[in-house]
Chain A
Amino acid sequence: EDQVTQSPEALRLQEGESSSLNCSYTVSGLRGLFWYRQDPGKGPEFLFTLYSAGEEKEKERLKATLTKKESFLHITAPKPEDSATYLCAAVPPLVFGKGTRLSVIA
């Protein structure tokens, strides 16, 4: 069964304290992996798509990387406005993980 597992479920950081979120997948023949950010009461907001192992993408304080079995979302010097749930999804067949709830405390 195709699965996407995210860890940790929740993460609490002090402002400026860098960390990484993990997304492991068991889909066969991965063609793409998405990262989304979801704020409470809102729909997911697209961050990155990664297509092949070794690929990296960056946006402001976020950097996403992909290996053959997992993806990492690195958050450098986070700010309180980075607090959200971060979702990853693998294709095919488009399966989302449960997300990591990130809280950044000032």
Chain B
Amino acid sequence: EAGVAQSPRYKIIEKRQSVAFWCNPISGHATLYWYQQILGQGPKLLIQFQNNGVVDDSQLPKDRFSAERLKGVDSTLKIQPAKLEDSAVYLCASSLVRGRTLLETQYFGPGTRLLVL
């Protein structure tokens, strides 16, 4: 079974530029999550999708971050404009169960490492 795919793996940009990350979840997984992991910290949930609808985006900085999941499969996370403090690893995860409980086992991708200069 193929795992969660993410691209690019690395990205270096200047502050105030825009950047987009892509995630392809495990086939058949209804729920998709985006996390931000700053060096030395645990992952922080940014947004949770169930199929193509948003379940929770309470920690997404909506003035600069946006995410979509068209057709309930792939997802993109965008930052515009980027700030220095956005330097982090952006992780995508997916889970099978069509639930809202956050108790489902999540399968993580390898992440995209972003450096903002």
Contacts and interface: CB of A to CB of B under 8 A. Distances in A.
Name the interface size band of chain A. Answer: 20 to 34
A31 interface: yes
Contacts of B108: 36, 43-45
Q: Taking chain B's interface residues, is the majority helix, strand, or loop, or is none over half, making it mixed? A: loop
Contact of B44 (A42, A46, A96): A96
Contact of A94 (B4, B45, B91, B111): B45
Interface stretch (B11-19, B64-72, B79-87, B97-105): B97-105
A97 B44 CA distance: 10
Contact of A98 (B4, B42, B101, B111): B42
14 contacts: A43-B111, A44-B108, A46-B105, A49-B103, A51-B103, A87-B42, A91-B101, A94-B102, A95-B42, A96-B42, A96-B43, A97-B42, A98-B40, A99-B42
